Amino acid sequence: MITMIKRKYILERLAAGPVVGDGSMMFTLEKRGYVSYEKWIPYAVLKFPDAVLQLHREFVRAGADVIQTASFYSTDDRLNLPGKDCNFTCKEINDAACKLARKAADENNCLVCGGISPTPSFELGKDEKVVAEEYAKQLRCYEENDVDFVMCELFDNIREVEICAKEMKKLNKPVAVSMTLGLMGDAEGVAVEECAVRMAKTGADIIGINCTFDPNTSLKVMSRIKSAIADLDPKPYLLCQPVGFLCPEVENNRLGYLTLPEYPLALDPRTLTRSDAHDFGRQAFELGINYIGGCCGFEPYHIRSIAQELQEERGIIPPVNDMAQPYGGSFFQQSIISSIEGGGRQTKEYWQNVNLGSGRPFNPPLAKPVDRKIDYTRT
């Protein structure tokens, strides 16, 4: 009974108002020392559970509604690829990930979302049954751990989405499908609009995009997705979880920020500010996005800014407001900072309009993307 209620919980929240997702697990854990760049396997759920739990908790404090399991790329076929050096199985990782996500989520009545990643089996052209089985294995684990809903993420091929969604729909849980899409469409050149319709037609409750493109590019794509499905009935909810790095120069490049010369070790100067995150939250909401979160590079303070931006619309005060209010809020009004010459630092307007320096006058603001494809399905 109680499970039944939980299973619908995400849809109830979406029906009631904007839902705030969580942010980057893999990138953030990498900076903290618990994930390897370019391996992107969350062994940490088994080897450093405290570190994973702590990060989950920070997203809970930030005001997220949903905690996604730290189970990225953990399909058995990928774990066995050369270079991954992994002695754990998908089941071991995902079980541990579910428990940590649930523990944190329960601290503030949040939901747990079981995440599903694309599989090398699809990329290598294996039989659809083989591909489907990779998803089924993950899903069985999520069923056993009774996550609140499931989401496939970072799929860049609409055909693979369709295979995966078929498996997801077999569970009696809400289903979200999320692709990585820039203005150029999917890996095979299927246009954004067609991807949108086909995602919707899988029967998913939520469709959208995540990763690889920045908030501005992602909102352009979401606007096209929204238009493409305008006449469908029923319509799925919309989701958007972009990267936390500004990269306007790659919006027409299918591989997005992966083609920046700074990827992956030197993206820091592109980091969103809090104001950028506020703006993204506001604009996403106004565009009609129902599920607003972040992917790589979205740290807890970015998710906090989204949750604070929408606290009136959601009727939810993020727990972190005891320490940090929107744009400084009343803390800044009482502080010496409000008296700085030129003034206004205690206001939203100041932070929305402040000129941001990079401190790097010998560097250009934009970088020339590399031309060639990165085969990011490997290693």
Query: Restricting to residues 175-234, which ones interact with a copy of itself according to CB under 8 A?
Result: 214
Q: How far is the CB of 252 from a copy of itself (least distance, A)?
A: 13
Which of 127, 188, 233, 371 lies at the binding interface for a copy of itself (CB under 8 A)?
A: 371
Which of 266, 288, 312, 313 lies at the binding interface for a copy of itself (CB under 8 A)?
A: 266
Q: Give, in order, the Cα–Cα distances in Å from 115 to each of 70, 162, 176, 319.
A: 8, 16, 9, 25
Site map (CB under 8 A) of a copy of itself, residues 62-81, x = contact: x-------------------
Under rule CB under 8 A, residue 123 binds a copy of itself: no
Nearer to a copy of itself, 130 or 323 (CB): 323
Under rule CB under 8 A, residue 375 binds a copy of itself: yes
Q: How far is the CB of 165 from a copy of itself (least distance, A)?
A: 28
Query: Restricting to residues 13-42, which ones interact with a copy of itself according to CB under 8 A?
Result: 30-39
Nearer to a copy of itself, 203 or 319 (CB): 319
Query: Restricting to residues 277-336, which ones interact with a copy of itself according to CB under 8 A?
Result: 299-301, 304, 319-320, 323-324, 327-328, 331-332, 334-336
Q: Which stretch binds a copy of itself (CB under 8 A): 57-65, 114-122, 125-133, 167-175?
A: 57-65
Nearer to a copy of itself, 148 or 276 (CB): 276
Query: Restricting to residues 344-363, which ones interact with a copy of itself according to CB under 8 A?
Result: 345, 351, 354-363
Nearer to a copy of itself, 234 or 359 (CB): 359
- Compute the distance between CA of residue 144 and CA of residue 103 in angstroms, rounded to an integer: 16
Q: How far is the CB of 129 from a copy of itself (least distance, A)?
A: 27
Nearer to a copy of itself, 182 or 236 (CB): 182
Nearer to a copy of itself, 187 or 200 (CB): 187
Under rule CB under 8 A, residue 366 binds a copy of itself: yes
Under rule CB under 8 A, residue 252 binds a copy of itself: no
- Compute the distance between CA of residue 215 and CA of residue 67 in angstroms, rounded to an integer: 20
Which of 24, 218, 275, 308 lies at the binding interface for a copy of itself (CB under 8 A)?
A: 275
Nearer to a copy of itself, 87 or 339 (CB): 339
Under rule CB under 8 A, residue 374 binds a copy of itself: yes
